[in-house]
Amino acid sequence: MKTESLLVVNADDLGLHEDINHGVVEAHRRGIVTSSSIASCGRSFDHALDLLSSCPDLGVGVHLTLIEETPLSPLDQVRSLVGEEGRFHRDYRHFVSALVRGRIEPGHVRLELERQVKVLLDREITVGHLDSHQHVHVLPGVWHHVVSLAQQFGIPFVRIPRFDSVWSSNPAVSFARLGLNVWSCARRSTKGNLRSARFTPGLHLSGRLSRETLQGTVEGLRPGLNELVVHPGCTTPSLNDRYDWGYDWSGEKEALSSPEARASIEGNSVRLTNFTQMKGKCA
């Protein structure tokens, strides 16, 4: 019997900005988004929780964050994670640099990540998976804390991201993607009893997913559990000023909410799901 293609369409960055929150919820209600990852330390975390209360079928995971935002922990308890302004390291490159130089205290990582998970559990939110902002959770010095937290709190899934294509016009981006693939490959043998999607197709399209590329991604899905990481939102001057990533938030929202998206799912016999629904099931 042929294994079917299962697809979790997971919207990252919930809780970072109200315009992202609105886009995620719209892409769920109108479109094919089945799952979300919420940043507990995001400025719009409470706004996101208010919206989630009206979306009972939207899966929820924790978008573990050690970059850009402000920690939940008192600053004097996580001093190695923050700069002079009291915020996390400003980007992936600066965080990795601090990590490899031994400037990140393991205890600080554990304390902050545990707070980010517990703040959701304390709100009685069912957490189906863990992932992270800019995939820092697969890095040495972070990964074992993530595995431990998932096991401690009974969270069944963790993302192990892999770029199908590492190419970029920016050599530094290509190198970072290649490095991430290497670490992710190693993580599959050290995740204990945790589960993860077998494939993360279209990861190189983050922030730029169009109707055409979405259709091509769905058509190329492999048997088993796939996770499509997406970034819907409502593009506004406020959002662009806060996060200058070059993302087409509204474009992704419209692609995910289009009739063509639903038709592509049905036409390729793909079954939509989320990580909470997959708990206890084989794929």
What's 255's domain CATH number? 3.20.20.370
Asked if the structure places residue 84 within a domain, the reply is yes
Asked if the structure places residue 85 within a domain, the reply is yes
Asked if the structure places residue 283 within a domain, the reply is no
Looking at residue 144, its pLDDT comes to 96
Overall domain count for the chain = 1
| pTM for the model | 0.95
Asked if the structure places residue 124 within a domain, the reply is yes
Asked if the structure places residue 98 within a domain, the reply is yes
Predicted confidence (pLDDT) per residue in 106-148, tens digit: 999 999 999 999 999 999 999 999 999 999 999 999 999 999 9
Asked if the structure places residue 267 within a domain, the reply is yes
Asked if the structure places residue 9 within a domain, the reply is yes
Q: Could you tell me the pLDDT band of residue 68, with boundaries at 50, 70 and 90?
A: very high
Asked if the structure places residue 212 within a domain, the reply is yes
Least confident of 34-43, 181-190, 207-216, 239-248: 181-190
Tell me the residue range of the domain where 79 lies.
Answer: 5-278
DSSP the chain: -PPPEEEEEEEEEETS-HHHHHHHHHHHHTSS--EEEE-TTSTTHHHHHHHHTT-TTSEEEEEE--BSS--SS-GGGSGGGB-TTSSBBSSHHHHHHHHHTT-S-HHHHHHHHHHHHHHHHTTTPPP-EEEEGGGGGGSTTTHHHHHHHHHHHT--EE-----S----SSHHHHHHHHHHHHHHHHHTTS-TT-B--SB-TTGGGTT---HHHHHHHHHTPPSEEEEEEE------HHHHHH--S---HHHHHHHHHSHHHHHHHHHTT-EEE-HHHHTT---
